[in-house]
Structure 1
Amino acid sequence: MPKTPQKSPTFVDIFAGCGGLSYGLMAAGWDGLFAIERDANAFSSLNENLIRQEAAKKFSWPKWLPKTPHGIDEVLDSHRESLLALRNKVDLLAGGPPCQGFSSAGRRIANDPRNHLTSSYLEFVALVRPKIVLIENVKGIAIDFDDEESADGKVNYAKKIIQALSVEYNVSAEVLDTSTFGVPQKRKRFFIIGFRKDTSFLSKEMPFTVIERLRLGFLASKGLSVPVAAKSAISDLEVARNGMRQSTESAGFQEIAYKGPLTSYQRLMNVGIGKNVTDTRLARHKVEIKSRFEKIIQLCHADGRLNVSLSPELRASFGLKKCAIRVLDPDAPSPTITSMPDDLIHYRESRTLTVRENARLQSFPDSFVFKGKYTTGGDRRKKEVPRFTQVANAVPPLIAEAIGRALIVYLRPAEVTTSVSAPRKASQYSRGAAAVEV
């Protein structure tokens, strides 16, 4: 008698951005119900890749929620009854509140309005009561802010989230380095995983133990060994190899005339796409800027200053005010990708990286197409999420898929080797973040 196909576990993605986390979860076998993203640019990318009818991977999407940009507070206010109908029926609630207010690369303002979206996330959890909660954010979320309004003058958003979740969930948290999961980027991110206490799961192992136990098998399934160097990720996109042509979507710009992948990582990212790679538009650097970049590249290679910010002396010698600029090391994973296109100079060519090159360093497949503006500036940077920012803010799909595979262990009997029990309660988190009692 043939076996009945197992029903895919379900998830909802909050603060979905362009869809890196959702894409990885779907690749791991999860069924996405819907996603919430307020920015029109990011939602346009989300729709193109994971919502529209023709998408290879796509959300089921309920009739009650229009396929348009939404903020989480808007959904909570306008669709509360529909959310209540999902109560106890969603397997996983995923996502991470906007990280800019927490990032050590930013100003770390305690009362940044984006920080308080964590309360909206927790309200959503309380309303829907998913079996599992997955939150991703920058390491800075676990560092104390100065806060004059609190009793001790400090506020720690990671502690607040963990303490709030711990009423109904067994919670554990760790900082994970994405480069150990095949992402060609030294990107360390803070993950929180909670299992609802009144629910029986099919493993009693701690979630981060399962993630690590399955990691090497995951890499083997992808044909990857770690770390993946930047050159292995983007060497096939060098202008010197491919040449240039007029941009197919931006008048007055040139783009890389892509010829095809060279390395195993590039072939993995390029499956089914071939030469039809998008988002290769090149920046229009002035002659003097290209000359400056060329000299900086030469000096950084000579002095071994790759993947690190330029020294104050070197910046001064070029009349640079920008502090974060660095040259990519071809033989190591890249530093953390940021939303500023000129933060990183190519390891060989006198230019900044394209959206596609940044996407490769984030492990987005070449089939993933980005939509909306390329860049923005001024006050709009707090309001708009153009393509470079979409890539920078995303959860890398490879680590999302690895985590997704591990979490399925708790829900699918065929993939479990341990006895049925709720995961043990975690008492602290470690690996680069201060311990927090829960």
Structure 2
Amino acid sequence: MEKLRHMGSPASVSGPTFIDAFAGCGGLSLGLMRAGWVGQFAIEKDPNAFETLHSNFLAPDARFSYRWPEWLDRSPWTVEQLLEQHPTRLLQLRGKIDLLAGGPPCQGFSSAGRRRAVDPRNGLVERYLELIDIIRPKFVLMENVLGFTYDFKANGKNGKPVSNFAGRLKERLSQNYEVVSSTLRASEFGVPQQRPRFFLVAVLKSDSSSEKLETFFDDLRTAAPEFLAARGIPRKVTARTALSDLELARNGTEPCSDSNGYDAISYKGPKTNFQKAMRDGLEGRPTDTRLAKHRPDIERRFKKIIALCHSQGRLNVQLSKAMRERFGLKKMAIRVLDPNEPAPTITSLPDDLLHYSEPRTLTVRENARLQTFPDWFSFKGKYTTGGKMRIREVPRFTQVANAVPPMLAELLGQTLGLVWRRQTNQTHRSAPNFQRDLDRPVKAA
């Protein structure tokens, strides 16, 4: 396999171009830009998530920036609105965009929620296909939950099962694209989280091209050890390796700068190679360390639950029925992190995971660490939401949970960059290969 190389620098505009659809807070965009891809714009409808996008990719001091077109307002958009209001502009992009990236919202597919084939959010797959048909990018990169690959059960006695959306998507794309897909477990790529997800890569068919994608995901896995070694990160990153520098016992607290009446974790500095990589040059305390306000009786309950899960070896798994009955809990999804293993997953509900040693839930920043967001990446908007607003709003915890881990996205971007160079007969450019602190191995802590 050809050796992976960066295709450009953060300031480079000579790399391959991409549009991020259903961008969320920008985890996929961040990884692709780090790999040298040039973001044109992002499509995200939620005001909270778009505020995060704007802060990190459109602010004057942003480390990575979209080349946002003048004809498109820098504001939240749905794919439907874009298709309706700018059809001519989109058609003018045909053949000029190298990659359409992103994944339609996953709530209707997720096995963690109420899977419904008729969930209106599932229809966004069709809008995604419309966008592909109009722009006709050279490549497509899509990510979704594993439930995207599952068939739906029949509705009622006479109902028929509904085939899974992954198969239907591949069938539709295969008319114009070579398509490959795979399930990737994030923990195999240095992400401190198990999280199996569905990924699809497609390349536009061309008579003049002999490029095939059969080995794409094998190449991705082969490249992972060298990719991580360049950052001083082990192949397996545990929860403690990711979070030990954010423990209250080490740092203490201070008033939260963006939430009156709340405390936040103070910060003394990184301890592990992974933490040093996630600091990524940031000085001082990271944002988004606001602590939940747990009542004293809740803290006592959490302390007992954590101790019991450690003693019974029930870490990273749901509490047993006996445990829930003992503590009067109806919620089934509560899990205590195993400090010596990657986290099981990240969810949009902050009380789904308890810290491995401290009687509390995790902060947004700790969830972001488990997703490999660098500490300088700040999240905006509400912290949480509830009730009916859960399906309408994307607060900070949900933004983090829905994101593609940026480090995995970067490796995907580098691997796809090799295909792009061969597909377009590009030679490696002489642009800086941005060997920043993240790329240099650091001494063991």
- 1:12-411 maps to which residues of 2 (within 5 A)? 12-148=19-155, 152-198=160-206, 203-204=211-212, 206=214, 207-411=216-420
Unaligned runs of 5+ in 2: 1-7, 430-445
- Per-residue deviation, 1:218: 1.1
Q: Give secondary structure in 2 for the equivalent of 1:117.
A: helix
Q: Give secondary structure in 2 for the equivalent of 1:154.
A: coil
Query: Residues 202 and 411 of structure 1 are in contact (CA less than 8 Å); yes or no, is this contact kept in structure 2?
Result: no
Query: Residues 201 and 410 of structure 1 are in contact (CA less than 8 Å); yes or no, is this contact kept in structure 2?
Result: no
- Per-residue deviation, 1:274: 2.6
Give the TM-score taking structure 1 as reference length. 0.91
Query: Residues 148 and 154 of structure 1 are in contact (CA less than 8 Å); yes or no, is this contact kept in structure 2?
Result: no
Shift in alpha-carbon separation, 1:166–1:202, aligned structure 2, 3 A: closer
Q: Give secondary structure in 2 for the equivalent of 1:126.
A: helix
Identity, % of aligned pairs? 54
Q: Give secondary structure in 1 for the equivalent of 2:127.
A: helix
Query: Residues 144 and 156 of structure 1 are in contact (CA less than 8 Å); yes or no, is this contact kept in structure 2?
Result: yes
Query: Residues 110 and 155 of structure 1 are in contact (CA less than 8 Å); yes or no, is this contact kept in structure 2?
Result: no
Q: How far apart, in 2, do the equivalents of 1:401 and 1:141 lie?
A: 23
| Alignment-mate amino acid for residue 225 of structure 1 | P
- Per-residue deviation, 1:210: 2.2
Query: Residues 33 and 59 of structure 1 are in contact (CA less than 8 Å); yes or no, is this contact kept in structure 2?
Result: yes
Q: Give secondary structure in 2 for the equivalent of 1:145.
A: coil
Q: Give secondary structure in 2 for the equivalent of 1:410.
A: helix
Q: Tell me which residue corresponds to 2:439.
A: none
Shift in alpha-carbon separation, 1:27–1:202, aligned structure 2, 3 A: farther
Q: Tell me which residue corresponds to 1:434.
A: none
Q: Over residues 243-301 of structure 1, what are the superposed CA-to-partner deviations in whole Å (9 max), with x where a residue is unaligned?
A: 00111110110000111111000000002113231000000000010000000000000
| Alignment-mate amino acid for residue 124 of structure 2 | L
Q: Give secondary structure in 2 for the equivalent of 1:114.
A: helix
Q: How far apart, in 2, do the equivalents of 1:356 and 1:309 lie?
A: 23
Query: Residues 246 and 254 of structure 1 are in contact (CA less than 8 Å); yes or no, is this contact kept in structure 2?
Result: yes
Shift in alpha-carbon separation, 1:205–1:255, aligned structure 2, 3 A: same
- Per-residue deviation, 1:411: 2.0
CA RMSD of aligned residues (A): 1.8
Query: Residues 92 and 134 of structure 1 are in contact (CA less than 8 Å); yes or no, is this contact kept in structure 2?
Result: yes
Q: Over residues 100-147 of structure 1, what are the superposed CA-to-partner deviations in whole Å (9 max), with x where a residue is unaligned?
A: 111110010111111110000000000000000011000000000125
Query: Residues 19 and 100 of structure 2 are in contact (CA less than 8 Å); yes or no, is this contact kept in structure 1?
Result: yes
- Per-residue deviation, 1:414: 3.6
Q: Give secondary structure in 1 for the equivalent of 2:230.
A: helix
Query: Residues 110 and 147 of structure 1 are in contact (CA less than 8 Å); yes or no, is this contact kept in structure 2?
Result: no
Q: How far apart, in 2, do the equivalents of 1:45 and 1:284 lie?
A: 24
| Alignment-mate amino acid for residue 246 of structure 2 | L
Q: How far apart, in 2, do the equivalents of 1:411 and 1:82 lie?
A: 24
- Per-residue deviation, 1:221: 1.7
- Per-residue deviation, 1:234: 0.5
Shift in alpha-carbon separation, 1:222–1:202, aligned structure 2, 3 A: farther
Shift in alpha-carbon separation, 1:388–1:200, aligned structure 2, 3 A: farther
Query: Residues 202 and 409 of structure 1 are in contact (CA less than 8 Å); yes or no, is this contact kept in structure 2?
Result: no
The answer to which of 208-217 and 316-325 deviates more is 208-217
Q: Over residues 347-366 of structure 1, what are the superposed CA-to-partner deviations in whole Å (9 max), with x where a residue is unaligned?
A: 00000000000000000000
Q: How far apart, in 2, do the equivalents of 1:100 and 1:47 lie?
A: 24
Q: Over residues 397-428 of structure 1, what are the superposed CA-to-partner deviations in whole Å (9 max), with x where a residue is unaligned?
A: 01000000000001224469xxxxxxxxxxxx
Q: How far apart, in 2, do the equivalents of 1:324 and 1:60 lie?
A: 41
Q: How far apart, in 2, do the equivalents of 1:82 and 1:349 lie?
A: 53
